[in-house]
Amino acid sequence: MKINPYIFRNYDIRGVADVDLDPEKVEALGKAYGTFLRRRKIRQAVVGYDCRLSGPQYHDALIRGMLAVGIDVIDLGMVMTQMVYFGQYRFQTNGGVMITASHNPWNYNGFKLATGFSSNTQIEDVQEIRKMVEEETFFKSEKPGAVAALKGNAWEEFVEDYAHDVLKRVDIKKKFKVVVDAGRGTTGLFNPRIFERAGCEVIGKNLEPDGHFPIGTPDPTATVVMERVSKAVLENKADFGVAFDGDGDRIGIVDEKGNMLWNDVLLAIYSKEILERFPHSKIVYNGLCSQLTAKVIEQNGGTAIMWRTGYPFIKAKIMEENAVFGGELSGHFFFADNAYGYDDATYATLRILEYLSDKNMTLNALYREFPHYISSPEIKIGCPDDKKVHIVKDLSVKFKRDFPNATITDGTVIPNDDGTRADFSDGMIILRASQNGPYITTKFEAQDQKTYDERKRYVKAILQSYPEMIWEDELAVNLHSLD
């Protein structure tokens, strides 16, 4: 079968609906993933989808493919990504698929594929599935699989099982007023009710799912999204504001004063809390994070491990290092202390509220004594898939030329890393090729405004020197931060 090879990304599958993907191709992907499972003696999987417009059609096609190669499917219906991961534990199966394109625009869709409990496909797994689709080498099953669809009371019972599981892991002793912005994504169906059961007063915003994403892509790393949350926090005199991405595994946070906390700051807060209980532990973070993250971990007696960006890579590194926690600038957080270690933004929100109640502090007071950095958000600029990796490798050469006294971290330091990072005594610059779509991301920081502005000008100028960069692109985010 002919299929766009670039939709097979480093750890999942994502493409444009009705262009890269259609029901025939998705059915073939279902057969390929089912074959992938059968090779590993796995004969059952859970399947869920988010509110994207193509979700129901692709859900049906994927399940047809999986049934054809003899996989029994437990159909979870419309859920959040973490509920698919929870469903693997609930129904005791290593197989699992979430149909979503996460924070990509409305016309994208894709597939997050499980390889076991709290484990997702890696590069070689995705390429194995790609080869099967292209060559149509699927498992020949003597009989088709069976499907058990959770509907009505069965679906409500599953949702309740998930809610009970996350709520039993926290003890929030204070009543918080919380702004919850679902961005018209899937989380509006679930999270407000869960937070109310945790004792919060919830001010809900944009809760009704709509796969057109009429107010813009639900991306909690986008300044425009977090400014909307900030405004609602101030208007309602709330203690806390949170935004979610479309499928529910990532968050963005605003404090009671309306300040946006980039997720590397939130990662540092979680690390501080965990190290109070687990001294000298290892904590994993990705290269897009501020120097602040490692400083807070080390100041609190932990070991900071920088690793490759990508939620499956961070999860795998946490397991390899026997770390208690890890996270990414994008808002994926992995708690391995009293939870399953997969990324669950619902649970991550409850954990920060629990810490605030334990300390009897505001969020602003909790982080304002951290080291000070002026830090950009994560900025995304369009770049073709077949150009972006070469550009980042070229940037590594230029970084070593332009910053001879900086510490350069690239693929020669972290194996197969897609980024080039320069660390200075007072901040860093990083540029990397995205694994989620045709774009390049950057972040930079400094400890004074003059140096910050110099680094901003450097980043903008060096990216503008590449004609391949697409500055007016639907995937572009936070470009104003380069002005």
**Helix, coil or strand: residue 412:** coil
Does the annotation mark 102 as catalytic? Answer: yes
Q: Which residues are CB-neighbours of 483 under 8 A, at least 6 positions away?
A: none
3-state secondary structure of 264: helix
Q: Phi/psi of residue 406, each to 5°?
A: -85, 160
Cβ proximity of 195 and 244 under 8 Å:
no
Output the CA–CA distances (angstroms, integers) from residue 444 to 290, 375, 427, 475, 478, in the order listed.
8, 6, 7, 20, 13
Q: Is 481 exposed, middle or buried (0-12, 13-18, 19+ CB in 10 A)?
A: middle
Q: Rounded to an integer, what distance in angstroms lies between the CA atom of residue 290 and that of residue 82?
A: 26
Largest CA distance in the chain: 69
The amino acid at residue 214 is P
CA dist 467 to 7, 391, 462, 464, Å?
A: 23, 11, 11, 7
Helix (H, G, I), strand (E, B) or coil at 241: strand
Q: Is the dihedral of CA 449, 377, 385, 317 positive or negative?
A: positive
What b/e readout covers 175-191, taking b as 16+ CB neighbours within 10 angstroms?
Answer: ebbbbbbbbbbbbbbbb
Which whole-number Å values give the CA distances from 285 to 105, 331, 349, 440, in the listed order?
26, 11, 18, 19
**Per-residue tokens: 387:** 């150009």
Catalytic: which of 54, 102, 396, 434?
102
Dist CA 421 CA 366 (whole Å): 28
302, 275 contact by CB (below 8 A): yes
Cβ atoms within 10 A of the Cβ of 469, count?
19
Chain center to CA of 135: 31
E strand residue ranges, 175-255: 177-181, 201-205, 240-244, 251-254
**Quick check: 45 and 148 in contact, CB under 8 A?**
no
413: CB partners within 8 A, 6+ apart: none
Report CA dihedral (277, 281, 285, 287) to the nearest 10 degrees.
140
Q: How many CB atoms lie within 10 A of CB 473?
A: 17
State the catalytic residues.
102
